[in-house]
A and B are shown apart, each in its own frame.
Chain A
Amino acid sequence: MLKRKIGKIALGFAAAFTASAALATVGQARDLTVVSWGGAYQDAQKKAYFEPFKKAAGIAMNDESWDGGVGVLRAKVQGGAATWDVVQVESDELAVGCEEGLFEKLDYSKIGGEAAYIPPSVNPCGVGAILYDFVLGYDKDKLKEAPKGWADFFDTKKIPGKRALRQGPKTTLEIALMADGVAPKDVYKVLATDEGVERAFKKLDTIKGDIVWWKAGAQPPQLLASGEVAMTSVYNGRIDTANKNEKKNFGMVWDGALFTLDSWVILKGSPNKDAAYKFLDFAGKAENQSKLSENISYGTSNKDAAGRLAPAVLKDLPTAPDNIKNAVEINVAFWLENIDRLTERFNKWAAK
C-alpha cells in the first residue's frame, strides 16, 4: 500500500520536474523585458518609448518596475536566470555593476554613436536616459514667503514647520553644507574632510527635532500635500506630476539642486541583446526623448532633444540653462568610497 503511494509521489515529482524544465526552456525564449522605476515616470516612458517602439520595430516587449539596488542586479545575474534585459539604473548602480561585470559593454555604433549624447551620459556600460534633480520643494498655498534655498530650509524661525529629507547620508550631507554657506561647486571638497563631515552634522543638529525622514520618492509630495512638512527635498519630476495630475500648487527651488543621471544598461548574458540594442537606439533618438520630457519634467541625454522642446516645457527641466547653473552633480566616486562609513555615522547621529 505504502509502496504504491511512494511510487505515486515519485511520479508526481517527476511530472513536476518535467513541467518546470519545460517552463525553463520557455523562459529562455522570452520577450524583451525592460525594467524602470514605475509610477508616473514609467507611464511617461510607456507613452514615449515602449508603445511606439513595439509598433515601429514590431518587437514584442514587456516592461516591469523595480526599486533599485545593485544587490538586486547582482542576484539576478549571478543567479544565472536573469529575467530582465534592459534595466534603468542610478549612477552608483551603474558604477558598481560595471566594475562587477554585471552589464554588457555597450557598442555605441548600434545606438547612434557617442557624439549624439551629452558627455556625462556616455559610459562604457550604460547610456544616459534622464537627468534629474533633488530640489527643495514646498507648497505655495501654505507658505507666506517662498524659500530661496537650503539656508531657508534650515531656518525654522523664518519659515516654521517640519522639514523632510531623504533618510541616509547621501544628499543630506551635501544639503547641510550648502545651507551652511558652502558653494555648490565646493561641496565634495569640503565633505571629503573630517571637519566637513562634522560641519554637516552640526548643521543638521540645528533642526534635528524638526526633520521627518522619507525613504521612497513618492513620500515627499504626500508629506507636502498633507501639511506634515513645510519643505522637503524631492525629485523635481514628482513635484511637476503632483502639480499636473493632482492640481497642487507646489514650488521648487533650483538653486543648489543636486542633479544625477539614470542610465539604461543591458544585463550581462541577456538572450535578447539585438532587441535590446534596437530599443536603446529608439529611446536614444532626439524626437522620442523630447516626447518623454513633454510628459514628465526630466532632462534627457540626446544633445538635440532639448532643442525640439517648446520654451514653456524647457523652463521646468533640470537641463534648462538657468536651472543647471547653480546645481551640483552628485559625486558617485565619493559615495562609493564613503557610503558605508557615513551610513554608520549617520545612524549613530540619528540614534543620539
Chain B
Amino acid sequence: MTDASLSGANASTEVPLKRRLRRAERTRQVKALALIAPLLVFLLFTFAGPIAGMLWRAIDDREVRQVLPQTFAALASWNGKDLPDEEAFAALASDIMAARTSGTIAIAAKRLNYALNGFRTILTSTARNLKTMPEPGTAKETLGKINPAWRERTTWTTIRDASGPVTGFYLLAALDLVRNVDGVIVAAPPDQAIYRSLFTRTFIISLSVTVLCLILGFPVAYLLATLPPSRSNLLMIFVLLPFWTSLLVRTCAWIVLLQSKGVVNDSLHWLGIIDEPLRLIYNRFGVCVAMTHVLLPFMILPLYSSMKAISPAYMRAAASLGAPPVTAFLRIYLPQTLPGIGAGSLLVFILALGYYITPALVGGAADQMISYFIALYTTETANWGLASALGAVLLLATLLLALVYGKLVQGQQVTGGMKN
C-alpha cells in the first residue's frame, strides 16, 4: 500500500491520486449507505418518527384554541391588566354555547385545569348554566353571575396563556417553573414543585446502582477472564442465567428474600443477630439491591471482554521491573480496563435511568423514579403534555451525560502502546 502510493505520487497521471482516492472512497460510502438504507428507513418510521411525535406533544398546545376560537380573537387586543371588555365576554359565551353542542368543552376544561386547578368546574358549570346567548351588552354580567371566577383576572390570563399553537407550559412544569399572571417565569408553588427532586432522585439511584455494579462486577469479570476456559465457561453460565430470567421473576424473588418475614430476616433472627426484623424492602435499600442484581450482567460482560484482551505479559513485565502488585494493578492493568469500565458503567447507568417495574414493586412511595411518573401521566391521568415534557427532559439529560462521558473517555483511553 505505502509503496504503491509513493510510486503513484511520483507518477504524473491526469487525475491526481488524492482525487481518485476520494472518488473510490465516495463510491464505497454510497454502497455502504445503500446497504443499510432499508434498516435506516425502518428505524425512521418505527422509532425516530414516533419519538419525535411524542416529543412534539410536550410543546403542542392547540386544544383550547380549537374550542374557544372567538375568545382568542377578542383577547388579541386585551392588555392583560384589568378584566377584558364586553366583547371578549360575548365571544366566550358564544364559544361555550358552540362547544356545548359539539361536546368539546371538556377538552378545553382539561387543559385549562392543568394551569389553574378548578378550571374544569368553572367551564363545565358555565356551559351547564348558560341556557341562551346573553343579550348584547350583558355578557360580562351574566357570566359573572353564573361563576364569580369570570370576574378574576387570573381566569382570563390562564385562557390567554393557553392560546398555543406551541407552549412552554409543560416543559416549565417539568422543571418546577410556572409563568405568573404577568408572564414572568417563577418557581412553582412548593406543593407542586416535585420534578427537580424527582430527576435528582432518579440520577442518584442510577448512579448508586452503577457504582455497586462496578464494585461487584469487577472482581467477577477478572476471575472470568483469568480462569482456564473449562471453569470460566461454567462461571459464565452463572452470570448469564439471571440475564436470561425474566425481570419480573427476579424482582419478585427479592421480595420473597427481603420482606420482614422473608428468608434473610428469618435467618438473621434464627442466628440471634436481630430481634426485630430489619426493613430491607419497600425502601431505597431494596430498590438498589434488586436493580444491582438485575443490571449486573450488563457490567460484567463489557468488563470481561476488555480484560480478555489484556495480555498477562504486561503484568509480568511490570513485576520484573520492580513494581509492587498494587502499583502494577493501578498503573498497568486498570488503565487498560477503562474502556470496559466506561462501556459497562454507561450501559448500566442509562438502563437504570429508565427503570420502572423494579422500583415500582420493591420501592416505597419516596423511591419512585421518573419513569413511574411518565407512565402515570401517560396512562392514568392522560396528561400527555406533561408526560412528554418529563420524557424530553430525561432524554436531554441522558444525551448530555453520554456526551460528557464520551469526552472524558476519549482523553483517557490507554491502549497499551498498541494503537490500532
Contacts and interface: CB of A to CB of B under 8 A. Distances in A.
B376 interface: yes
Nearest to A352: B366
Interface in A1-27: 2, 5-6, 9, 13
Interface string A256-291: 000000000000000000000000000000000000
B184 to A, nearest CB: 22
Given A337-B120, A340-B381, A351 B103 contact: no
Contact of B106 (A67, A99, A227): A99
B384 interface: yes
26 contacts: A69-B379, A69-B380, A70-B382, A71-B378, A71-B380, A72-B379, A74-B382, A96-B382, A99-B107, A100-B106, A167-B365, A226-B259, A226-B261, A227-B261, A228-B261, A337-B118, A340-B113, A340-B117, A340-B381, A341-B192, A344-B192, A345-B191, A345-B192, A348-B194, A351-B194, A351-B197
Ranked 5 nearest A-B pairs via Cβ: A69-B379, A99-B106, A350-B365, A71-B379, A71-B382
A350 B259 contact: no
Contacts of B242: none
A100 B118 contact: no
Interface size band for B: 35 or more
A69 B379 CA distance: 4
Tell me whether chain B's interface is mostly helix, strand or loop, or mixed.
Answer: helix
Contacts of A71: 377-382, 384
Interface string A43-74: 00000000000000000000000011111101
A215 interface: yes
A2 to B, nearest CB: 6
B183 interface: no
Interface of A: 2, 5-6, 9, 13, 67-72, 74, 96, 99-101, 162, 167, 211-213, 215, 226-228, 336-341, 343-348, 350-352
Contact of B190 (A13, A74, A101, A348): A348
Given A2-B34, A6-B34, A227-B261, A337 B117 contact: yes
Nearest to A348: B194
B379 A68 contact: yes
A344 B201 contact: no
Which residue, A338, A341, A346, A352, has most C-beta atoms of chain B within 10 A? Answer: A341
Contacts, number: 100
Nearest to B261: A227
A125 B107 CA distance: 17
Interface in B262-303: 262, 282
Given A167-B365, A337-B113, A351 B380 contact: no
A65 to B, nearest CB: 15
A213 B31 contact: no
B310 interface: no
Nearest to A66: B379
Given A337-B118, A341-B117, A348-B192, 16 more contacts: A2-B34, A9-B38, A69-B380, A69-B382, A70-B382, A71-B378, A99-B106, A162-B260, A167-B368, A213-B365, A226-B261, A228-B261, A337-B117, A338-B117, A339-B381, A340-B117
Which residue, B38, B107, B379, B383, has most C-beta atoms of chain A within 10 A? Answer: B379
A72 B261 CA distance: 37
Contacts of A2: 31, 34
Given A227-B261, A340-B381, A351 B107 contact: no
Contacts of A74: 382
A336 B117 CA distance: 10
Contacts of B235: none
Contacts of A13: 38
A319 B344 CA distance: 57
A348 B373 CA distance: 13
A340 B114 contact: yes
A342 B339 CA distance: 46
A338 B117 CA distance: 7
B364 A212 contact: yes
Nearest to A12: B38
Contacts of A9: 38
A193 to B, nearest CB: 12
B373 to A, nearest CB: 8
A84 to B, nearest CB: 15
A337 B121 contact: yes
Interface string B120-156: 1100000000000000000000000000000000000
Nearest to B260: A228
Contacts of B120: 336-337
